[in-house]
Amino acid sequence: MAFGSLYANWLCLIHSEYHHPWDAVFRQIGFGTAADHHVHHKLFVKNYGHLFMYADWAFKTYLNPQDVSAFTGSEGGKTVKGW
């Protein structure tokens, strides 16, 4: 029951699209943040982890939100980077 409650709250935090003061620390220790999850919602082939980014790091599917300046969709089948 405790895990379910923590997990539900975590899902609310990563879907909030809000920058939290602890995001930099969480990202360093491998916890996904709202910005990491925002990348996943825009580029479905990146940042699969809901809780942890370890598998994304291992399989090279992690994209740091700071490396993306803006998202504008796609042009000619190619993803256009941007935030």
Q: What is the pLDDT of residue 25?
A: 92
Report whether 36 contacts 27 (CB < 8 A): yes
Q: Are strands 78-80 and 73-75 parallel, antiparallel or unpaired?
A: antiparallel
pTM of the model: 0.70
Across residues 62-73, what is the average pLDDT?
A: 72
Q: What is the pLDDT of residue 83?
A: 39
The pLDDT tens digits for 16-62 are: 878 889 888 988 999 989 888 888 888 888 998 888 999 999 999 99
Q: What is the pLDDT of residue 51?
A: 86
Token pair in block for residue 80: 């256009």
